[in-house]
C-alpha cells in the first residue's frame, strides 16, 4: 500500500481518478492551519462510496489519502491557473471555497515548501496515473481516464446561481474523441440536469492526460453534491444517493460500451 494513495487495479480499460477525495492533513501542517481548514469542507466527499459499483464493473480506482488543502492534485505542478480571468484556487490553496484563510498568519507555504509537497504528494499520485494508464493501454490497446469530482451546488466564488447536477468536461473536445461522449447524450438523466463543457471543462488531469491521438481519452464529471449529500452537514444522504448512483453507473457503463473510441468514429 502506497502511503500517498490507494490503487485498485481492474480488468477493463477505465481508470477512475478521485484526486479530491482525500481528507487527511499531516499533523505538522494542521498545526499551522485554521479551524476552517480543519473541517476540510471542500473535499469531494464519499467519492469511493458513490462509485463503489465501479469495482464490480472492473474499473481501476485511484484514491488519494491527503486533502486538497495539502496540495491540489488536479493543478499543474508549476501553479499555472486553470481558468484565465476566473477565480482560481492555487496548487497549495491558501483559502477555502468560502474564501476563509487556510493558514494562520505568517504560516502560508513558500516556494520551497510547495516544491517539496509536489515531490512528496503530487508526483506520487501522478506517477500512479501514468503507470496505470500505460498498463491499461498495453492490455486493451486504449485507456479511458474518468475524473470523478463533486462540488457544492452553489459556490458564489466560482459560479453564479445553482450548478447543473451533472457537469461533464472534456476540454472542449480536446481530451477525448467525440465518439466517446456521443452516447452520453442518449442517457436518461431525469430528473437531473446535465451539461458538457459548461462551467467545468476538465482540470489539469483531464487536460494533461487526455491524448486521443495516443489512444488515451479523458473525461471529467463534476457532480453537484446536492444530489447525494445533505449540503448543510456534508453527511451522506441515503435517499438522494440511492437515486443518483444508478445514473452514474449508466454513465460508466455507456463509456465502457463504446470500446476503443478510435475505432468507433
> pLDDT tens for residues 228-258?
999 999 999 999 999 999 999 999 999 999 9
Flag the least confident range among 24-33, 88-97, 121-130, 173-182. 88-97
Q: Which of 11-25, 49-63, 87-101, 202-216 has the lowest mean pLDDT?
A: 87-101
Distance CA 191, CA 199 (A): 20
Identify the pLDDT of residue 94: 96
For residue 140, is the peptide bond before it cis, meaning its omega torsion is within 30 degrees of 0? no
The number of helices, as runs of H, and strands, as runs of E, in the chain is: 9, 9
Per-residue pLDDT, 263: 86
Residue 85 has pLDDT above 80, yes or no: no
pLDDT for position 264:
75
Q: What is the chain's mean pLDDT, rounded? A: 95
* Residue 207 pLDDT > 60: yes
Q: Quick check: 83 pLDDT over 90?
A: no
Q: How confident is the model at residue 2 (pLDDT cuts 50, 70, 90)?
A: confident
**Chain-centroid distance, C-alpha 191:** 23
Other beta carbons within 10 angstroms of residue 178's beta carbon come to: 12
Neighbour count for residue 229 (Cβ, 10 Å): 21
Asked if the model's pLDDT at residue 212 lies above 90, the reply is yes
Cα distance between residue 55 and residue 36, in whole Å: 34
Per-residue pLDDT, averaged over 9-23, amounts to 98
Best CA proximity match to 162, nearest among 176, 152, 174, 150: 152
Strands 216-224 and 166-169: antiparallel
Mean per-residue pLDDT, 44-69: 97
Res 79: pLDDT: 77
- The answer, yes or no, to whether residue 86 has pLDDT greater than 70, is no
**pTM for this entry:** 0.95
Q: What sign has the CA pseudo-torsion 101, 104, 109, 113?
A: negative
Does residue 227 register a pLDDT over 70?
yes
Residues 84-89 have a mean pLDDT of 65
Residue 29 φ/ψ, nearest 5 degrees: -80, -40
Residue range 141-164: mean pLDDT, rounded: 95
Digit-coded pLDDT (tens) for 111-132: 999 999 999 999 999 999 999 9
Residue 258 has a pLDDT of 95
Which pLDDT score, from 0 to 100, does residue 96 have? 96
Instruction: Walk me through the domains of the chain, giving residue ranges and CATH numbers.
Output: 5-263 (3.40.630.40)
pLDDT at 80 over 90: no
Amino acid at each position: 500500500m502506497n502511503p500517498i494513495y490507494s490503487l485498485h487495479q481492474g480488468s477493463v480499460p477505465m481508470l477512475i481518478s478521485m484526486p479530491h477525495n482525500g481528507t487527511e492533513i499531516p499533523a505538522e501542517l494542521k498545526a499551522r492551519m485554521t479551524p476552517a481548514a480543519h473541517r476540510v469542507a471542500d473535499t469531494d466527499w464519499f467519492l469511493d462510496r458513490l462509485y463503489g459499483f465501479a469495482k464490480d464493473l472492473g474499473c481501476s480506482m485511484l484514491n488519494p489519502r491527503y486533502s486538497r488543502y495539502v496540495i491540489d492534485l488536479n493543478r499543474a505542478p508549476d501553479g499555472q491557473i486553470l481558468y484565465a480571468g476566473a477565480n482560481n484556487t492555487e496548487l497549495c490553496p491558501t483559502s477555502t471555497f468560502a474564501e476563509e484563510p487556510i493558514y494562520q498568519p505568517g504560516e502560508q507555504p513558500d516556494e520551497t515548501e510547495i516544491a517539496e509537497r509536489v515531490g512528496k504528494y503530487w508526483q506520487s499520485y501522478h506517477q500512479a496515473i501514468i503507470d496505470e494508464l500505460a498498463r491499461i493501454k498495453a492490455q486493451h490497446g486504449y485507456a479511458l481516464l474518468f475524473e470523478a469530482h463533486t462540488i457544492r451546488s452553489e459556490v458564489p466564488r466560482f459560479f453564479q446561481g445553482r450548478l447543473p447536477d451533472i457537469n461533464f468536461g472534456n476540454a472542449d473536445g480536446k481530451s477525448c474523441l467525440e465518439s466517446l461522449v456521443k452516447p452520453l447524450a442518449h442517457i436518461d438523466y431525469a430528473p437531473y440536469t446535465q451539461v458538457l463543457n459548461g462551467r467545468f471543462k476538465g482540470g489539469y488531469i483531464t487536460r494533461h492526460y487526455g491524448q486521443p491521438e495516443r489512444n488515451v481519452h479523458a473525461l471529467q464529471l463534476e457532480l453537484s453534491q446536492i444530489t447525494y449529500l445533505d449540503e448543510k452537514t456534508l453527511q451522506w444522504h441515503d435517499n438522494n444517493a440511492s437515486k443518483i448512483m444508478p445514473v452514474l453507473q449508466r454513465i460508466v457503463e455507456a463509456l465502457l460500451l463504446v470500446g476503443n473510441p478510435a475505432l468507433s468514429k
